[in-house]
């Protein structure tokens, strides 16, 4: 089944403890992207990747890192999480940036 | 002047009626637009897309209209069903790689 898989689905952590949210797609998509969704602010783009080893900032990249060493994986790294990064995170992929996105089911992160 | 539908954060319709969800986009350089549906506890799902060289595109029970003059996008759902209840988002692509989502509209379908 074609899908985007994020792990974990839920994560509660403390301020400053490094964490990684994994994202994997099995559709051989070139484009991948991370978003956060907050009440009243909608979906905002964090980082995106047009292809392997090519990443770029979205609208809200501060406090996040990404890497794209392989086509299928696009992990989101929070080196030193803070409470304002408490949010619902979505990973998505598509054939290209001008194609519909396929989203994962989300990761709900709470930073205390 | 031409009337353009307002974006509403919520919309309630009777089952079987047609629904119209509106979206204003911000960047006149955007040339690709998508509508997504998000059900509770899930990620957004693709519904229909349209490129800037078109002003209308139809799918099964859904139609997207694009008015570039006033930077407005609308999604029409025919014969709305209870399973259509969800949050609907429009998205624009102002340049390769970037995507900007609009404020969502929560559609509730009353049986």
CB B99 within 8 A of CB A45: yes
Q: Strands, E, within chain B: which ranges?
A: 10-14, 19-24, 32-38, 45-51, 56-58, 62-67, 72-77, 86-92, 100-101, 105-110
Counting residues of chain A whose pLDDT is more than 90, the rounded percentage is 92
| Alpha-carbon span A15 to A24, nearest angstrom | 26
pLDDT in tens, A23-79: 999 999 999 999 999 998 889 999 999 999 999 999 999 999 999 999 999 999 999
pLDDT score for B6: 72
Q: How far is CA B11 from CA A6, A107, B5, B85, in A?
A: 31, 28, 13, 10
pLDDT score for B103: 87
Q: Mean pLDDT across chain B, nearest whole number?
A: 92
Closest chain A residue by Cα to residue B42: A105
Within 8 A by CB and 6+ apart from B105, the residues are B7, B8, B9, B10, B11, B21, B22, B23, B87, B88, B89
pLDDT score for A53: 94
Q: Do B41 and A50 touch (CB under 8 A)?
A: no
Closest chain B residue by Cα to residue A38: B103
How many CB atoms are closer than 10 A to CB B93?
22
Best interface-test mutation with B: which of A101, A104, A108 has the largest number of B CBs within 10 A? A101
pLDDT in tens, B39-93: 999 999 999 999 999 999 999 999 999 999 999 999 999 999 999 999 999 999 8
pLDDT score for B4: 56
């Amino acid at each position: 089944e074609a899908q985007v898989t994020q792990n974990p689905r839920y994560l509660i952590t403390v301020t400053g403890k490094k964490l990684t949210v994994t994202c994997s797609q099995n559709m051989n998509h070139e484009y991948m992207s991370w978003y956060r969704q907050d009440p009243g602010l909608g979906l905002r783009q964090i980082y995106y990747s047009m292809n392997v080893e090519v990443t770029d900032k979205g609208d809200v990249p501060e406090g996040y890192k990404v890497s794209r060493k392989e086509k299928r994986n696009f992990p989101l790294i929070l080196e030193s999480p803070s409470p304002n990064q408490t949010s619902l995170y979505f990973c998505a992929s598509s054939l290209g940036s001008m194609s519909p996105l396929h989203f994962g089911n989300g990761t709900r992160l709470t930073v205390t | 002047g031409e009337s353009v539908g307002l974006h509403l954060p919520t919309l309630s319709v009777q089952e079987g009626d047609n629904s119209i969800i509106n979206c204003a986009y911000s960047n006149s350089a955007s040339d690709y637009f998508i509508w997504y549906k998000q059900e509770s506890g899930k990620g957004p799902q693709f519904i229909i897309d349209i490129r800037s060289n078109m002003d209308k595109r139809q799918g099964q029970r859904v139609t997207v209209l694009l008015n570039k003059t006033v930077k407005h996008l609308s999604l029409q759902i025919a014969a709305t069903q209870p399973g259509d209840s969800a949050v609907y988002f429009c998205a624009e692509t102002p340049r390769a790689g970037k995507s900007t989502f609009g404020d969502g509209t929560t559609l509730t379908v009353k049986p």
